[in-house]
Amino acid sequence: MSHNTFGHLLRLTTWGESHGPAIGAVLDGCPPGIPIEAQELQQHLDRRRPGQSRHTTQRREPDEVRILSGVFENDTGQQITTGTSIALHIDNVDHRSKDYGDIKDKFRPGHADYTYWQKYGVRDYRGGGRSSARETAMRVAAGGIARKILDGVTIRAALIQVGPNTINRDNWDWSEVDNNPFFCPDPEAATAWEGYLDGVRKSGSSAGAIVEVVAENVPVGLGAPVYGKLDQDLASAMMSINAVKGVEVGDGFAAAALAGENNADEIRMGNDGQPRFLSNHAGGVLGGISTGQDVVVRFAVKPTSSILTTRQTIDRHGNETEIFTKGRHDPCVGIRAVPVGEAMMALVLADHLLRHRAQTGTKTGATG
Ligand SMILES: Cc1cc2nc3c(=O)[nH]c(=O)nc-3n(C[C@H](O)[C@H](O)[C@H](O)COP(=O)(O)O)c2cc1C
């Protein structure tokens, strides 16, 4: 069994390894007639690109995406999707495989080295091969197309915690997210994180983080009972991102501490004649189906495993040894996970939009 594909009507298959010649993806099921240019996808990729600040890996990958198929000019010369499979391609240009020669037989703690070896008996040790987060570049590129399917839906993400340091939610300002190297919506927290992460990096250590992803203007009705729940698919998609160890929807784990009267979102009729929820503890999903409120998902990212500190491990022959990972690594991988979280939200919502249309057509309930 191989699992390089996800989605139902909108299906993404990715391929490639960290230190191979290229990475790529095929996105199948995209409706025809959607205008799309490589530059639009590039904007999203540029936010995930390594080497943009001292707080991310210094690997220099331009991550230039090419669209190889599935698009053609319409009558006015605009490039649009044709409804056929869309192939995306990015060259790997800055891999330094020699960084990994010394450790090819050793299992790096916190990485997939041990499990890949035990499962397959062969592995591309250079930069983690297929387990490398290089693969997430393709998710971001494909997510750019998914966003276009979700016309009118706004998907944004922010870093809300680095190590033990959280933002002050009263300071939340979306316009700040692209003003600092952390995608942080709280400018005061971003300033504090600079010093904190400098210290972490200089001590040869790393830090974890929490990312919050918010989708606004999501239509009511996306998701399905019983095994096609929207929150279930979102949790699976976020958990599939490298280094993610926890996912929550809405109030998530904090809901366990709430009383029922504080958690269940009350409903009134708004002045516009439409139902209006008085709160959003549910994170925009009830019974696995979107309510029309913001869909809110958070995920926790573990601290980078490859650190400039010698660690104990074993090699593939069972010898106890020590390991020191050279390579170039993100001191806090949660930073570059922010655009990846947005992409996964877009891919899941777009898949569910197409599934919703396929099953219900225009037939939906109405209140008011
Ligand atoms: C955007 C991104 C960049 C990453 N970069 C690194 C890195 O430079 N060094 C590292 O040790 N882990 C990095 N990771 C995490 C590893 O890929 C991941 O921990 C490893 O493959 C093991 O998988 P798991 O943590 O999901 O179990 C990164 C993750 C993401 C999302």
pLDDT at res. 314: 98
Six-digit token string for 278: 């008085």
Between 144 and 365, whose confidence is greater? 144
Nearby residues of 111 by Cβ (< 8 Å), 6 or more positions away: 128, 131, 305, 306
Q: For residue 138, which of 60, 242, 219 has the smallest C-alpha distance?
A: 242
CB distance 337 to ligand 1 below 6 Å: yes
Which stretch, 79-88, 194-203, 327-336, has highest mean pLDDT?
79-88
Q: Is the pLDDT of residue 135 over 90?
A: yes
CB distance 57 to ligand 1 below 6 Å: yes
Ligand 1 centroid to residue 325 C-alpha, Å: 13
Length of the chain (residues): 368
Average pLDDT over residues 53-60: 74
**149 Cα distance to chain centroid:** 18
CB distance 243 to ligand 1 below 6 Å: yes
Q: What is the mean pLDDT of the chain?
A: 95
Integer Cα distance of 300 and 79 in angstroms:
38
| pLDDT tens per residue across span 321-331 | 999 877 667 78
pLDDT at res. 11: 98
Q: Cβ distance 11 to 28 under 8 Å?
A: yes
pLDDT at res. 367: 83
CB distance 334 to ligand 1 below 6 Å: no
HSE at residue 254, side-chain half, CA atoms within 13 A, is 9
The DSSP-derived string for 198-251 is HHHHHTT----EEEEEEEESPPTT-SBTTTB-HHHHHHHHHHTSTTEEEEEETT
Q: Which residue has the tokens 């693969």?
A: 135
Integer Cα distance of 242 and 132 in angstroms:
8
Residue 62 dihedral angles phi and psi, to the nearest 5°: -65, -20
Ligand 1 centroid to residue 132 C-alpha, Å: 6
| pLDDT tens per residue across span 64-75 | 999 999 999 999
Q: Is the pLDDT of residue 99 over 80?
A: no
Q: Is the pLDDT of residue 311 over 90?
A: yes
pLDDT at res. 61: 80
Between strands 5-6 and 311-314, the pairing is unpaired
Q: CA–CA distance from 277 to each of 152, 264, 295 (Å)? A: 20, 10, 13
Nearby residues of 54 by Cβ (< 8 Å), 6 or more positions away: 181, 198, 201
Q: For residue 214, which of 154, 288, 255 has the smallest C-alpha distance?
A: 154
Q: Cβ distance 141 to 67 under 8 Å?
A: no
Between 330 and 32, whose confidence is greater? 32
Banded pLDDT at 53 (limits 50, 70, 90): confident
For residues 357, 85, 26, 144, the Cα torsion angle rounded to the nearest 10 degrees is -60
Q: For residue 290, which of 333, 254, 249, 323 has the smallest C-alpha distance?
A: 249
Q: Is the pLDDT of residue 98 over 80?
A: no
Ligand 1 centroid to residue 307 C-alpha, Å: 12
Pocket test for ligand 1, best of 61, 115, 333 (most atoms within 8 A of CB): 333
Q: Cβ distance 348 to 153 under 8 Å?
A: no
| pLDDT tens per residue across span 197-218 | 999 999 999 999 999 999 999 9
Question: Percentage of residues in the chain with pLDDT exceeding 70?
Answer: 98
pLDDT at res. 97: 67
| pLDDT tens per residue across span 225-278 | 999 999 999 999 999 999 999 999 999 999 999 999 999 999 999 999 999 999
For residue 86, give the H/E element and its range: strand 86-91
Average pLDDT over residues 112-126: 95
pLDDT at res. 58: 66
Q: Map 237-250 to HEC letters.
A: HHHCCCCEEEEEEC
| pTM of the shown model | 0.97
| pLDDT tens per residue across span 263-305 | 999 999 999 999 999 999 999 999 999 999 999 999 999 999 9
Ligand 1 centroid to residue 354 C-alpha, Å: 31
Ligand 1 centroid to residue 344 C-alpha, Å: 16
Integer Cα distance of 306 and 363 in angstroms:
52
